[in-house]
Amino acid sequence: MTTPETSSERPSTGPAAGQAEIERIVRQATRSLFRFFEEASAGAIVVDRDARVLWINDRYAELLGLTDPEAAVGQPVESVIPQSQLREVVRSGRPILLDIMQLRDQSLVVTRLPVLGEGDQVQGAVGFVLYDHLQPLTPLVAKFRRLQQDLARAQRALAKRRVRYDLSHFVGISPPVLEIKRKARLAAERNTPVLLLGETGTGKEILAQAIHGMSNRADQPFVGVSVAAIPENLLEAEFFGVAPGAYTGASREHRPGKFQLANGGTLFLDEVGDMPLHLQAKLLRALQEREVESVGSDNIHRVDVRVIAATSRDLRAMVEAGDFRPDLYYRLNVVEIRVPPLSERLEDVAPLCESILTELAEDGARRSLSEDALALLNGYHWPGNIRELRNILERAVTLVPKPRLEATDLADLLPAAIRNAQRPAGARPAVRPLAETLREAEAKALAQALEATGGNRSAAARLLGISRSVFYEKFRQLSGGQDMLS
Ligand SMILES: Nc1ncnc2c1ncn2[C@@H]1O[C@H](COP(=O)(O)OP(=O)(O)OP(=O)(O)O)[C@@H](O)[C@H]1O
């Protein structure tokens, strides 16, 4: 056992006591301490420097249900006490002063100490069972359980905030895709902000997740927030949190904002171009000062967040038009990665189809595409980019029960423009279900509004006389997208 002889804190025995006298008393103290613990505890065990049992008292043997305690001597400690941590104490030379050890359905309160010899060399370890039932420690155990529950809850929350994509999910063989991946790898090495520019459905969120996953923040949360999807009056609370009772109906507990949820990790600001001007100022402050102030409070919370922003809008033009703050633009745009639309890299269509069909394969039965089917897909302009390609393949796999999909199987699933181009001249358009016609009309209205506003979803929603969130929801549905933002 650790003996006070080796301790730097020597007991005071008065000026008259010589060195030999001090050591004698200390040795006695050590022996009495051991005896006291051995007698008062519900069990005691000593192991050597290889964590093999040297000695075990009868009470511990009985607790463990050993019929022959002598047989335990010389055995590795874990073969006698499966949950034992004595080997760790021998290895580290550090005591575990208080711990709860599970023995079958029993919780034991234990203490473990290293035995130090000459020159503080670890000679072994000693373990005592302080209590074999937890009654005397009820308050402590209740606290322990609460902490364990908190930990489990935090781990579950963190797991939800783990990323699902890495760079291998960003499929493509075209030169722009290879360049995008190169830049993403470089960006991951630093904590600098990244701005991802590209049309909707081009894979900006995959890239954001991949960069986070390759960075030194990979074990920390990745929190995505789509600015366009949140009603304007809720954005501030969503980003910065709400103080207890900040307004009528507000919760009595502090509700953390996305900045706080992303603390230590990465915050992905999707559609950052849709951020209203007055919140752009607060966002800039949060990024510069690394501090956020919840709605309804003067309290400042420090945050350490790496920001990856994305937009399908022309941010530079917005800056020139006075719709986006230049200081925020330069703050976000340290590393810029442009993701070209699928129509500018049609060589990616084939590998993308392969990868999507593999993902959609059930029972290992992967569908394939005929050459004319691939040619048909290559001839389309893909306004919804890869999200739209995925949607069409998913529909084909669901609706066409054939192992090899032909152009004729896909033509019906493609939007009217391309379908009509495939239809023989003179053929009368078929009467289609009303829902389908309405869906197409809605898609067309949305596309026209977006074109008229240069991709500005808020303005497009205003033009159509619907709210931003309704617009966004319809947009997601019509482009077949899933909302991947948490
Ligand atoms: N290069 C790619 N390889 C494989 N799948 C891709 C690729 N790019 C996009 N996808 C798929 O397309 C869909 C849309 O991708 P994602 O949400 O990342 O796009 P986005 O650019 O962030 O879109 P938005 O701006 O609308 O949020 C997802 O299902 C994603 O898996």
Is 311 in contact with 273 (CB distance < 8 Å)? yes
Ligand 1 atom with the smallest distance to the CA of 271 is 25
| Residue 125's pLDDT band (cuts 50, 70, 90) | very high
pLDDT at 256 over 70: yes
Helix 434-452 vs helix 457-464: crossing angle, to nearest 10 = 120
Q: What is the pLDDT of residues 75-117, one digit of tens each?
A: 999 999 999 999 999 999 999 998 989 888 788 889 999 998 8
Question: Which residue, judged by its Cα, is nearest atom 10 of ligand 1?
Answer: 203
Q: 144 in the Ramachandran plot: left (φ > 0), alpha (ψ -120 to 50) or beta? A: alpha
Confidence of residue 480 (pLDDT cuts 50, 70, 90): low
Does residue 328 contact residue 319 with C-beta atoms inside 8 Å? no
Q: Is 155 helix (H, G, I), strand (E, B) or coil?
A: helix
Of 165, 204, 166, give the one whose Cα is nearest residue 185.
166
* 8: pLDDT strictly greater than 60: no
Q: Which of 164, 387, 390, 393 to mutate to test the pocket of ligand 1 (most atoms within 8 A of CB)?
A: 387
Q: Positive or negative CA dihedral for 137, 143, 147, 152?
A: positive
Which run of H or of E encompasses 47? strand 43-48
Q: Is the CB of 383 under 6 A from ligand 1?
A: no
Q: How far apart are the first and last CA of the chain?
A: 53
Q: Is the CB of 201 under 6 A from ligand 1?
A: yes
Whether residue 279 has pLDDT greater than 50: yes
Q: Which residue has the tokens 């790898």?
A: 185
Binding site membership of 203 for ligand 1 (Cβ less than 6 Å): yes
Matching residue, tokens 């500005």: 456
What's the pLDDT score for residue 430?
A: 54
* pLDDT above 80 (res 9): no
pTM: 0.62
Most confident of 104-113, 296-305, 334-343: 334-343
- Per-residue pLDDT tens over the stretch 376-433: 898 888 888 999 999 999 999 988 888 899 988 888 887 755 554 444 444 444 556 6
Note the pLDDT of residue 474.
80
Say yes or no: CB of residue 171 within 6 Å of ligand 1. Answer: yes
Task: Give me the pLDDT at residue 425, please.
Answer: 42
Distance, in Å, from the CA atom of 31 to the CA atom of 394, rounded to the nearest integer, reads: 76
Residue of 32, 385, 353 whose CA lies nearest to 204: 385
* Ligand 1 pocket check for 202: Cβ under 6 Å: yes
Q: Which two tokens stand for residue 310?
A: 């994305």
* DSSP E strand stretches across 174-241: 194-198, 222-226
Rounded mean pLDDT of 328-346? 95
Alpha carbon 243 to chain centroid distance?
A: 25
In order of start, what are the domains of the chain with their CATH numbers?
24-132 (3.30.450.20), 167-244+256-340 (3.40.50.300), 343-422 (1.10.8.60), 434-479 (1.10.10)
Cβ of 457 less than 6 Å from ligand 1:
no
Which band of pLDDT confidence, cut at 50, 70 and 90, is reported for residue 203? Answer: very high
Instruction: Tell me the CA–centroid distance for residue 174 and ligand 1, in Å.
Output: 16
Instruction: Tell me the per-residue pLDDT of 214-255, one tens digit each, with 9 for 90 and over.
Output: 999 998 999 999 998 888 888 999 999 888 766 666 666 778
Would strands 300-302 and 291-293 be described as parallel, antiparallel, or unpaired? antiparallel
pLDDT given at position 169: 93
CA distances for 203 relative to 120, 171, 299, 433, angstroms: 59, 9, 37, 32
The predicted pLDDT at position 486 comes to 28
pLDDT in tens, 10-68: 444 455 567 888 888 888 888 898 888 888 889 999 999 999 999 999 999 999 999 88
Question: How crowded is the C-beta side of 294, counted as CA atoms within 13 Å?
Answer: 20
- pLDDT reading at 1 higher than 50: no
From the CB of 170, is ligand 1 less than 6 Å away?
A: yes
pLDDT digits (tens, 9 = 90+) for 145-198: 788 888 888 777 776 677 889 999 999 999 999 999 999 999 999 999 999 999
Structure tokens at 472: 């966004």
ipTM of the complex: 0.97
DSSP code, position 102: E
Q: Which atom of ligand 1 is nearest to the CA of 479?
A: 26
Do the Cβ atoms of 347 and 307 come closer than 8 Å? no
Helix then strand count (H, E) for the chain reads 21, 14
- Output phi, psi for 62, to 5 deg: -65, -45
